[in-house]
């Protein structure tokens, strides 16, 4: 615990100290006092953190305060963007219509959510019971990934208030229409898949029963939606053979996106299991993490073969070795995200060491996110530059993206504290 009186004087320091001491934890507030008996009771039950006491999650920490500050700044940017328009808030232009928000928040956010359908499918359809203990966390994680993508795309489109148009004005030739429909359907599915946590907490048996009845169907629906959604983000780029650099453009780009998302999804789930093990009082299940690492190795190998095949049959190996900016980006992306992780995982000493797996997870996450930025932002740079365009994200674009990441982290933390995120099964 930091003693703030040392920095800001006894008076303010005292106030901050008291605040940080979790004395005013949300669970100490009696909601019935202001929200009425019924609603207040529900809120009280929801904010009761005794079941997760053993995780030792502190809500008021310097890190959390930074997250809140970032979210606050992002909210300001969001309001500014809605009032003054996309041109005022971003550095996007006619030659570079899609930037950071699409490249990172949407393409990256959705790819990071791929863990959920894999784990849910493994648990509910394949009946691999071992992974049940991480199912809730990975589904929640995906929920935030998709929320991040959904909020960002809402702010990215120039007419945010009519973003619902594709849902009623169907245009089935458009991959973007398919993306929009999937985004909404899958968010609903993830909400359904996550709802048992809330219902359990509230003790609403009837709702719980109803959800468990449709759970397997929901999981299958989620698997189908995810397969399509992950690949359709890549399919968005099928129509730009003359604009996207041949280093990334391929008729198989939907499959590249899907397979790399699966690789990323497994890594994210493993990363988050290990991370929650590090920051919460919670022991990561060893066999689960090792299983995920094996998954990363298998899927990563498939991805590597696909990418090498594309390189050899498409632009040629020379295209990435010529020292060009895009060639170097490709080399970094592939080295960090695929080759290095696969080499590391080929050692038994890495596969069986949780800390080393953690490092591999981080590499894969960085590499695949970089791939999305390469396709979404840098890949069109040659076309844009030839037409006279240039792009670097504005302060506001960067701030919003950081705020969205902060939102996902804080949201996950809140859920870990107040919801039964880690079932007792593996304690």
Partner 1 sequence: MTISRRTFLKGVAGGGGLLLVSGIPLADARMSTELPPHAVGILYDATLCIGCKSCMANCKTQNSVPGGALYKKGMTAPPYESKGPAGDEGIWDAPQELSGKTLNIIKVYKNGTGEKKDVAVNGYSYFKQQCLHCISPACVSVCPAGAFRKDPENGSVYYLAERCIGCRYCQLACPFGVPRYEWDSAWPEVRKCQLCRHRYAEGKYAACAEFCPTGATIFGKVVDLRNEARYRLTLKPGTEYDFPIKTVDSAEKSRRPVARYADGTYGLTEAGGTQNIMLSGVSFELLGFRKKIPHFDLPSLTWAYVRKVLWVFAGVFTGGTTIYAITHRNDKEGSHD
The binding site for partner 1 (CB under 8 A) comprises 83-88, 92-95, 97-98, 121, 124-127, 153, 156-160, 162-163, 165-166, 169-180, 209, 212-213, 215-217, 220, 223-224, 227-228, 231-232, 235-236, 238-243, 251, 254, 380, 383, 386-388
For helices 253-279 and 132-156, angle between their N-to-C axes, nearest 10 degrees: 120
Q: How far is the CB of 291 from partner 1 (least distance, A)?
A: 16
Q: How far is the CB of 315 from partner 1 (least distance, A)?
A: 13
Q: How many CA atoms lie within 13 A of 317 on its CB side?
A: 3
CB nearer partner 1, residue 258 or residue 415: 258
Find, among 194, 148, 55, 88, the residue nearest to 369 by Cα: 148
Angle value at C-alpha 404, between 159 and 336, nearest 5 degrees: 115
CB nearer partner 1, residue 214 or residue 308: 214
Long-range contacts formed by 93-97: CB under 8 A, 24+ apart: 93/389, 93/390, 93/391, 94/389, 95/383, 95/384, 95/387, 95/388, 95/389, 95/390, 95/391, 96/380, 96/384, 96/389, 96/390, 96/391
CB nearer partner 1, residue 9 or residue 87: 87
Q: How far is the CB of 388 from partner 1 (least distance, A)?
A: 7
Q: How far is the CB of 149 from partner 1 (least distance, A)?
A: 13
Q: How far is the CB of 419 from partner 1 (least distance, A)?
A: 18
Structure tokens given for 241 = 């053979």
Which residues, listed in sequence order, are joined to residue 96 by a DSSP beta bridge?
93
The secondary element (H helix, E strand) that includes residue 293 is helix 286-313
CB nearer partner 1, residue 176 or residue 202: 176
CB nearer partner 1, residue 376 or residue 411: 376
Q: How deeply is 418 buried, as exposed, middle or buried, from its count of CB atoms within 10 A (0-12, 13-18, 19+)?
A: buried
Q: How far is the CB of 178 from partner 1 (least distance, A)?
A: 7
Q: How far is the CB of 196 from partner 1 (least distance, A)?
A: 9
Q: How deeply is 307 buried, as exposed, middle or buried, from its count of CB atoms within 10 A (0-12, 13-18, 19+)?
A: buried
Q: How deeply is 212 buried, as exposed, middle or buried, from its count of CB atoms within 10 A (0-12, 13-18, 19+)?
A: exposed
CB nearer partner 1, residue 100 or residue 178: 178
Residues with Cβ within 8 Å of residue 114, at least 6 apart in sequence: 142, 226, 230, 261, 262, 264, 265, 266, 268
Q: How far is the CB of 380 from partner 1 (least distance, A)?
A: 7
Instruction: Check if the beta carbon of residue 294 is closer than 8 Å to that of residue 350.
Output: no
Structure tokens given for 331 = 């080399």
CB nearer partner 1, residue 265 or residue 284: 265
CB nearer partner 1, residue 143 or residue 237: 237
């Amino acid at each position: 615990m930091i003693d703030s009186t040392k920095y800001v004087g006894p008076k303010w320091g005292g106030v901050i100290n008291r605040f940080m001491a979790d004395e005013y934890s949300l669970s100490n507030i009696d909601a019935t006092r202001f929200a009425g008996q019924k609603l207040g009771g529900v809120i009280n039950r929801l904010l009761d953190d005794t079941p997760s006491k053993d995780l030792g999650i502190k809500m008021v920490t310097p890190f959390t305060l930074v997250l809140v500050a970032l979210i606050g700044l992002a909210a300001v940017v969001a309001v500014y963007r809605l009032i003054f328009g996309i041109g005022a808030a971003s550095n996007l232009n006619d030659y570079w219509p899609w930037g950071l928000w699409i490249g990172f928040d949407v393409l990256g956010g959705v790819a990071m959510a791929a863990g959920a359908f894999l784990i849910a499918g493994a648990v509910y359809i394949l009946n691999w019971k071992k992974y049940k203990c991480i199912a809730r966390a990975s589904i929640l994680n995906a929920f935030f990934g998709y929320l991040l993508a959904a909020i960002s795309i809402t702010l990215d489109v120039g007419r945010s208030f009519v973003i619902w148009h594709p849902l009623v004005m169907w245009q089935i030739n458009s991959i973007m229409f398919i993306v929009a429909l999937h985004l909404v359907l899958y968010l609903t599915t993830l909400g359904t898949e996550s709802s048992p946590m809330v219902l359990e907490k509230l003790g609403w048996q009837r709702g719980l029963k109803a959800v468990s009845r449709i759970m397997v169907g929901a999981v299958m629906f989620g698997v189908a939606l995810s397969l399509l959604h992950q690949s359709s983000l890549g399919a968005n780029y099928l129509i730009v053979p003359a604009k996207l650099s041949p280093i990334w453009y391929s008729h198989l780009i939907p499959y590249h996106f899907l397979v790399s998302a699966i690789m990323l999804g497994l890594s994210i789930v493993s990363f988050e299991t290990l991370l929650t093990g590090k920051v919460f009082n919670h022991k990561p299940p060893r066999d689960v993490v090792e299983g995920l690492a094996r998954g990363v190795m298998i899927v990563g190998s498939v991805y590597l073969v696909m990418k090498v095949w594309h390189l050899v049959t498409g632009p040629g190996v020379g295209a990435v070795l010529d020292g060009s900016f895009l060639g170097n980006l490709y080399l970094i992306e592939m080295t960090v995200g695929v080759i290095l992780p696969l080499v590391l995982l080929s050692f038994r000493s890495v596969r069986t060491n949780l800390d080393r797996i953690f490092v591999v997870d981080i590499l894969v996450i960085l590499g695949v996110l970089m791939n999305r930025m390469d396709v979404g932002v840098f890949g069109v740079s040659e076309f844009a530059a030839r037409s006279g365009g240039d792009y670097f994200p504005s302060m506001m674009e960067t701030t919003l993206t950081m705020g969205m990441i902060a939102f996902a982290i804080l949201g996950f933390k809140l859920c870990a504290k107040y919801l039964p995120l880690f079932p007792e099964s593996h304690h």
